[in-house]
Amino acid sequence: MGSGAPGGASASARALQAEAPGDVQQAQRDYYHRNRDAIAERRRAREAADPAKANEARRRAVDRARAAGRDPAWSPTPDQRATYRERENEARRLARRRARAGLPERQLHRVHAPERRHNDAAADAFFAKKRTGGEIARIRDQDESTPPDLVHAWHERSENRRVAREILASAEEYFLEHEVELRARVAEVSRARFRRGMLPLDVYTEPRRQALEFASRGYLRANVASPTSSLTVHRWLTTDLAQRRPDITL
């Protein structure tokens, strides 16, 4: 009985496939969509366990598709291309905003299920380990309090960076809303200075400097976001100068 059950189930499946192939394919698609995360995780685990075998399986699938007259190279639809392009553009916009705000690049990376399980097991083993009296004493000896002057300096630097980020974010928002007005005002003042024999203003950096000055009003630590205070502020001020668009004229 036990050895005959699998064969009977296989025969029933083949019979159902022959009678109603559309229903079987729809059931397979429904199963995949219900369990696609688990299926993808199992596939990644198999590929991570034996990459050579996974590559060989891909090659065999390509050979079967070519032998059947199908194009093995998958290409996205126009709607999918538009979606991918929008995601890439949004990622680039986010990277530029993070750079202007002085934030580091995104450093997150994907960790597959086998590595996550290994890390969880290692962490559980580390924290469940029984510590000897000597180990506990060494750990306690390392817990020396930080000198107050270092703590104060750290708080000062953190507060300065926070204020600078806040001012830059306000300056960016103000600049985007009033860019045309700022550039027109700078161009007008530059022309007047030139007629009086004076050097004109820098039409690339001056509009942003005025936006930064406006955003700094009311801050007791406004000097932390001055044009010479940090490289982050300097990069924001010279954003347009680095691009050097030829359409900015006096």
Condensed to tens digits (0 to 9), the pLDDT of residues 179-236 reads: 899 999 999 998 998 888 988 888 888 999 999 999 888 888 888 888 888 888 888 8
At 96 the pLDDT is 80
Q: Which residues contact 221 (CB under 8 A, 6 or more apart)?
A: 159, 160, 163
Tokens of 23: 């229903």
At 77 the pLDDT is 76
Residue 149 sits at the vertex; the CA angle it makes with 146 and 152, to the nearest 5 degrees, is 95
Tokens of 122: 């290692």
Specify the DSSP class assigned to residue 248: -
Q: For residues 208 and 240, what is the distance between their CA atoms, to the nearest angstrom?
A: 9
Do residues 174 and 214 lie in contact, with contact meaning Cβ atoms separated by under 8 Å? yes
Q: For residues 211 and 228, what is the distance between their CA atoms, to the nearest angstrom?
A: 15
At 62 the pLDDT is 75
pTM of the model: 0.41
Q: Which of 155, 157, 156, 175 is nearest to 167 (CA)?
A: 175
- H-state helical runs in 50-147: 51-67, 78-100, 113-128, 133-142
At 3 the pLDDT is 45
Residues of the chain scoring pLDDT < 70: 1-22, 70-76, 106-107, 241-250
